[in-house]
Structure 1
C-alpha cells in the first residue's frame, strides 16, 4: 500500500520536507561505494569525516559493509525509518528507486544522476515521470543532475563535490546556493581559499521540485545563516524569490546574487520604447535593487562582499575615512570611493591642526596621509585612527600600509595597534596589504577585513553601506497602492485615441482633442480652438509618429493647420504606405513643462515592470530611466523620479520652475496598477510623453500593446 501525503503547494508538490532535506536524522545512500573517490563513495567519506550525528545507511546489494558501515541490499531492509535518501545510480534506475523511497517513507531525496531534461526530450519525459512519482508520495526532491548540499552545523554532507576534498571549509554563517554544480564547486573551493565561513552550500541541479528560491527562503529563515550568495542561471519561482528577498531585507541579511544567462529583448522592442528600456537584464537589476539584494557582476565581487558582510560590523552610513602612508594610494582609494558613490568628507579643522602638531610631515585631511614617519612612532597610527573615528565620525574606514603589513617585525605591531584602536567600535574597517595567515586570522577575529587591492576594499565597504540603505528603506504598505475602476483590457492593440481614454479612466489627465479625417476638418477645429495646436497622425500601424512625419507642433490658425495636414498625410503615405490611417488628432499645444516617458512592460520572469525616464524623441538616446516591479506606491514612484539624472529639470535647477513631481508620481503609480491589473492580456502600456507642469500632469500620447501567447 503506497504511503501518500496530503500537504502540497499550488503545483502539487509537497511543501513539507525542507527541514529533513537540510538536516535529517537518518540518511540512506543508494548506490553506495566502498571507494571514497567514487560518486557513491564521496558522501559517506564526507559524513564520517564531519562526524554526522545521524544514522548512515549504505545501500549496495553486492557488499556487506561499505567504508566500515553495515550495508543493506535495498531500502526496505533498513531497520527503522529513513528521513533522507541519496540516489547515486543510473538515470534508468531512478523511477524504481523513487517508488522504493516512497514505500519506505523517505521524506526527501537527492538525485545525483544526470540524463534528464538537460539531455533533450527523452530525458525531459523521464524527469516528468520522476516528478509525478515524487508528487504521489509527497517526497521533496533536490536535483536531478545535482552535486548535492553541505550543512556544516550538523555535518550533513550529501555531495560528491570536490569542494569538500582535503580540509573542509571554515565553519561560519555564509550560505551559498548555486544552480551550477561545477561552478558551485569552484565557489566552494574559492571560499576555502578566502577563509570564508560556510554554514550551508546547496547545488540545485535541474530543480525538478526544490527551487533556488525555496532554498533561499529556507536560508533566510535559518538562525545558522547571516549572509547569502546565489549563483543563478534562471529564475523558476519568481514569487517565492521576491518574497524571500523581501524577508531577507526585513531580517537585515545581505544577499549577493550573480545572475548570468540574461535573455535578449524580444521583438516588441520595435514597437515600444518601454520594451527596449525595460529589457530582461534591466528588469532583473531593478527587482534586485528594489528588494535590497546586491547584483554581483563577477565571482570576485561576490566573494568580496560575502567576506565583508560575514565578518564586518554593519555600516551606519556612507562617509569613508582613508588612512594611508602613501599619497598615491590615498588618491586611488578616493577615486574608487567616488566611482562607488560614497562620500570622502574632510577631517574637521580642529582635528587637522592637532594632528599636524603631532606630525608636521603628515597631511591629515582625508585621505589622511601619515607618511612613513609613523614607523618611527607607532602611536601616530592609533592617534590618527582615533581622530578619524571620533572627530571625523566616519562610517567606514580603510587603511593602507603598503608591504609593511607583511613584515615579520612591523606586521604584528600594525595589527595590534589597529585592533586595539578599533576593537568593539562597531565600525566597518578594511586593511589594504598582505599578511601571514596568523595575522589575517587575528585581523578578521576583530572584524577587520584584509584586501590586497585598494579598489576592492573600497568596493566592499561601499556594498556594506548600500545594504544599510536598503535595510533602512521603509517597506511598501499595500494600502498605499491606488485602486482603479478601469474595466479589464482586451488582448488587442489600443491606438492613441483609445489608449488615452484608458489612461484617463485610470485618473491620468489628457488634453481636449478632436479626431478629424480631412485637412479641411483640421483647419476648422484649429479655428474653433483659437490657439496654437498640435497635430498627430492616428494609425494602429504607426507607433513612432515623428519618424514618418506624423507630428506637427505650434500650428496657428486654420490655414496653417490645413496646409500642415495635407503635407502630413502625403509624407506619411510615402514613408508608411501600408499603414491604415484612422485620421488626424488635433489638440491645444501643451508647453512649459518637462516631458517624461512612463511605461509598463511585462517581463517574462517577474511580470509587469514600470519604467520612468526623460520622454519625447530622446528617450532611448538619453537612457535616463528608473525601473521597478509593478505596482508601485506614489512614494516609490517619486523615489524613481528623483533618482533620474534629469530630475533637477523638475526640481527648480538654475532658476527653472519647480514642477509638480507628486502629480507625476501619482500618474506613474496609477499606470503601474493599470498594467498589473491587465497583466494577462497586456504586453506594454506607454505614455510618451507625460508632460509634467507646475500644477499637474497631462498625457500627450499613449499606446497599449497586447500580450501574445
Structure 2
C-alpha cells in the first residue's frame, strides 16, 4: 500500500511539552492529585510548571492559579486530575487559554455506563472542534524518560521504574503498563517512552505508534491492545512504523469469549474476531506476543535492530541434550538448522575430537580446558558457511569470571567484524558479565529455549522488513461491481463474481427439462444440476445437487429427480428454477470467501475446500484489498499448500490464477464493504490451467438469518 504520512506535530506538544499545568493539583504528594506534580519535579522536568487549585496560591512549591486563563504565557499541556463531572469544564478552560494538549487521568467515563459514555463523547467533540489533542480519559498518563517528563500517578513510577532505554511502550491498559514497567525494571530493560491511552476519546494507540515511529530515540515499539475503533488508521500507523524501520510487537487481549466480554466492560471497546486480528497484525508486520514474558523478550531481542539476512542458524552447545532441545525449538519457529559443510565439521573435529559437528555443535566439556575453542567454533562457522544466526549455550560457565574474561576478547572482535549477524548466548552469569556481553552486542538469556525463541523473533522481524508493500489502486476497487443490497441466488452471486473477473463455469437457469437439455448440449457434457432457491442456503442438505450428467436422457431424469428431492425435503421452499452448469472435472477443491468484520473491516479467506472445509479448518485470512504479493504468500501459508503444489506426483494447481482470483476477491470485498457481510465460494476449484468458482453463497449486511441466499 502507499506510504502513509501521518502527522505527529500536534502530538509533540503532548509528549514533549515545555509548559505544563496540573488541574486538581494536591498539596499531598502521595494523593492521586499530588503525584503528577511531585513526579514532574523529581524526574527533573526543566520547563515551566503550574498548578490549578483555586484554594491555594502554591501547591508543593509550584505557583497555583484559579484557571489556566490567569497564567501568563503559552501552555503546551494540561494534566487533568479532577472528578469526572468537572473534566469538561477544565478542558473548556484549556481551550479558552489555547492549551495545545491534555492528559485526562480522571476515570468515570465510557467504562462505567451510558452517563460516562455521554461525558466522554463531549470530550471527543471538544477535541475535534478545538484541535486540542487529548490523552485518556481513564488513563495513567505517560512518561518521557528522555525529556524528564512524568505525567502519571502510578505508584510504580517511584517503586519499580526501568532505566532509560530505546523501547517505546504504549498500552490501552494503565495497570498492565505499570506492571510491565516494573517487569522491565526487574529485567534490566530500558524504556524511553511509556504511554497509556485509556478510553481513547481522542489520542489512540495508532497515534502513539506513529509518534514513536518518528521518535529518534525509539528503536522498537511495544504495546498492549484490547481492540480498535479505526482499523484503517491502525493499519496506516503500523505500516508507517515498518517503513521507518521500527518493529512493532503487540500483546492482543480478548482471544476467548470471556476475554472479549472483559474487554467490552473494561474500555467499552470491541475486541474483534481473534483469528482476523491475528491475520491483520501479521499482514502489517507486527510480531504478536501471547504473554508479558514473550512481549518483553521480543522487545529486548529486537531493540538492537539486528536483522539477520536469512533464517540459517548454527547452534553451539556445551550439552548435546540441550543442543537437541534448541534445534527442535528453532525448527518449530521457522529457523533452518542445516548441516554444516564437511570442511567446517573437519576443522571443528580437529580442535574437538569428541565433538558433535553436524549442527547443533556439541563441544562437550573439552571447552572448559580451553574456552577460546568456543570462539574458534564461531570463526569456523562464520567463515565456512552461510550462517546468519548463532545461538550458543554455555550453561553456568558464565559464573566463571576468569573464563568469561578470556572468552570476551576473541568473541567481541568477532561481534565487531560481523555486526550484521545475530549472536545469542544462553548462560547463567553475574549481572556484570551479562551487561558486558550485552554492551558488546550479544543477546543473553538464562533459558536456552527462550534464547532460540528470541532468534526466531529477530528472524521474523527481518522477514517483515524485507517484505514488499502491496499497492492497490483505488481505481481497481472502484471498477468492481457493487451488490444491489437485495438477496441473490447462487446464479446471481456468480454473475457478480464474473463481472469482477473471477472465472465461473458456463451455466444457465431453466424451468423445464427440455430447456435443461438444450442448455446442457450448448454448454457441453458433463453437466451439473442445482436447485435455485433463496430459501435453501445449503443445497446438498436437501439433495439439491446432481453431478456427472453426461447425456440428454440423464439430464431429463436428473431434472425430475431434483424437483422430487427438494419438494420432499423442503416442501415450502420457493423454487425459482434449476441451474444447468458445466461440471469441472479434476482439480483441487478450495474454499475462498469474504468476511466483513465490524471492527477490522473486510477480509478474504482461503482454505482447503469442499464439503469438509469446516472439518479440515485449514484457512488463512488477509484484510482487503491487497496485491499479488500478499495473495501468493496467503496461498503458501496453508498447511495443505503441498496439495496445491503437486504433492505425491499430482498435477500442480495454477497458483498464479489462484492468486489473481484472491486479489480480485479482495477488491470486490473492499468495494462492497457496506453491502456484503460474507461470501463463500465453495468450492473454488484450482485446476492445472485455471481456477473456477463453482458455487457461491452471499449474506448481505441487510439480510436476516432467514434471508441468506444461495
TM-score normalised per structure 2: 0.91
**RMSD of aligned alpha carbons:** 2.4
Find the aligned partners of 1:250 and 1:17 in 2 and give their Cα distance. Answer: 21
Q: Does 1:609 align with 2:614?
A: no
Find the aligned partners of 1:482 and 1:651 in 2 and give their Cα distance. Answer: 29
Q: Is the 8 Å Cα contact of residues 596 and 690 (structure 1) preserved in structure 2?
A: yes
Alignment length (residue pairs): 683
Q: Which runs of 5+ in 1 are unaligned?
A: 1-13, 266-278
Q: Is the 8 Å Cα contact of residues 480 and 633 (structure 1) preserved in structure 2?
A: no
- What is the correspondence of 1:118-157 to structure 2 with a 5 Å cutoff? 118-157=111-150
Q: Does 1:690 align with 2:684?
A: yes
Find the aligned partners of 2:480 and 2:392 in 1 and give their Cα distance. Answer: 59
Q: Does 1:220 align with 2:207?
A: no
Q: Does 1:159 align with 2:152?
A: yes
Q: Does 1:581 align with 2:575?
A: yes
Aligned match of 2:13 in 16, 20, 36? 20
Change (3 A) 1:366 1:531: same
Q: Is the 8 Å Cα contact of residues 25 and 55 (structure 1) preserved in structure 2?
A: yes
Aligned match of 2:63 in 67, 70, 73? 70
Change (3 A) 1:167 1:676: closer
Q: Does 1:444 align with 2:477?
A: no
Find the aligned partners of 1:79 and 1:139 in 2 and give their Cα distance. Answer: 19
| Residue 115 of structure 1, CA deviation | 1.0
Q: Which runs of 5+ in 2 are unaligned?
A: 1-6, 259-271, 704-710
Find the aligned partners of 1:264 and 1:540 in 2 and give their Cα distance. Answer: 32
Q: Does 1:547 align with 2:526?
A: no
In structure 1, the partner of 2:465 is: 471
In structure 2, the partner of 1:496 is: 490
Q: Is the 8 Å Cα contact of residues 626 and 663 (structure 2) preserved in structure 1?
A: yes
| Residue 525 of structure 1, CA deviation | 5.1
Aligned match of 1:310 in 303, 306, 331? 303
Q: Is the 8 Å Cα contact of residues 477 and 670 (structure 2) preserved in structure 1?
A: no
In structure 2, the partner of 1:55 is: 48
Aligned match of 1:653 in 635, 639, 647? 647
DSSP-derived class of the 1:86 partner: strand
Find the aligned partners of 1:110 and 1:618 in 2 and give their Cα distance. Answer: 53
| Residue 413 of structure 1, CA deviation | 4.2
Find the aligned partners of 1:189 and 1:378 in 2 and give their Cα distance. Answer: 36
Q: Is the 8 Å Cα contact of residues 482 and 633 (structure 1) preserved in structure 2?
A: no
In structure 2, the partner of 1:665 is: 659
Q: Is the 8 Å Cα contact of residues 311 and 444 (structure 1) preserved in structure 2?
A: no
Find the aligned partners of 1:650 and 1:220 in 2 and give their Cα distance. Answer: 39
DSSP-derived class of the 1:442 partner: helix
Q: Does 1:380 align with 2:392?
A: no
Q: Does 1:281 align with 2:274?
A: yes
Aligned match of 2:225 in 217, 232, 253? 232
Q: Deviations over 1:264-303 (max 9, x none)?
A: 79xxxxxxxxxxxxx8222211121111111111111111
Q: Does 1:460 align with 2:459?
A: no
Q: Is the 8 Å Cα contact of residues 16 and 147 (structure 2) preserved in structure 1?
A: yes
Q: Is the 8 Å Cα contact of residues 481 and 633 (structure 1) preserved in structure 2?
A: no
Find the aligned partners of 2:292 and 2:464 in 1 and give their Cα distance. Answer: 22
In structure 2, the partner of 1:433 is: 427
DSSP-derived class of the 1:474 partner: coil
| Residue 144 of structure 1, CA deviation | 0.8
In structure 1, the partner of 2:106 is: 113
Change (3 A) 1:24 1:371: same
In structure 1, the partner of 2:266 is: none
| Residue 478 of structure 1, CA deviation | 3.0
In structure 1, the partner of 2:269 is: none
In structure 1, the partner of 2:196 is: 203
Aligned match of 1:399 in 386, 392, 404? 392
DSSP-derived class of the 1:206 partner: coil
Find the aligned partners of 2:205 and 2:211 in 1 and give their Cα distance. Answer: 10
In structure 1, the partner of 2:706 is: none
| Residue 87 of structure 1, CA deviation | 0.9
Q: Does 1:560 align with 2:557?
A: no
Q: Is the 8 Å Cα contact of residues 254 and 274 (structure 2) preserved in structure 1?
A: no
Q: Is the 8 Å Cα contact of residues 313 and 447 (structure 1) preserved in structure 2?
A: no
Change (3 A) 1:558 1:305: same
Find the aligned partners of 2:375 and 2:124 in 1 and give their Cα distance. Answer: 62
TM-score normalised per structure 1: 0.91
Change (3 A) 1:184 1:573: farther
Q: Deviations over 1:453-494 (max 9, x none)?
A: 222111111111111111111122335984674543211221
DSSP-derived class of the 1:502 partner: helix
In structure 2, the partner of 1:102 is: 95
Change (3 A) 1:135 1:524: closer
Find the aligned partners of 2:478 and 2:103 in 1 and give their Cα distance. Answer: 47
Change (3 A) 1:195 1:530: closer
Find the aligned partners of 1:415 and 1:46 in 2 and give their Cα distance. Answer: 40
Find the aligned partners of 2:137 and 2:699 in 1 and give their Cα distance. Answer: 40
| Residue 246 of structure 1, CA deviation | 0.9
Find the aligned partners of 2:206 and 2:91 in 1 and give their Cα distance. Answer: 24
Greater than 6 Å deviation, 4+ residue runs: none
Q: Deviations over 1:473-518 (max 9, x none)?
A: 1122335984674543211221111111111112222222232335
Find the aligned partners of 1:149 and 1:596 in 2 and give their Cα distance. Answer: 49
| Residue 327 of structure 1, CA deviation | 0.4
Change (3 A) 1:163 1:392: farther
Find the aligned partners of 2:243 and 2:618 in 1 and give their Cα distance. Answer: 30
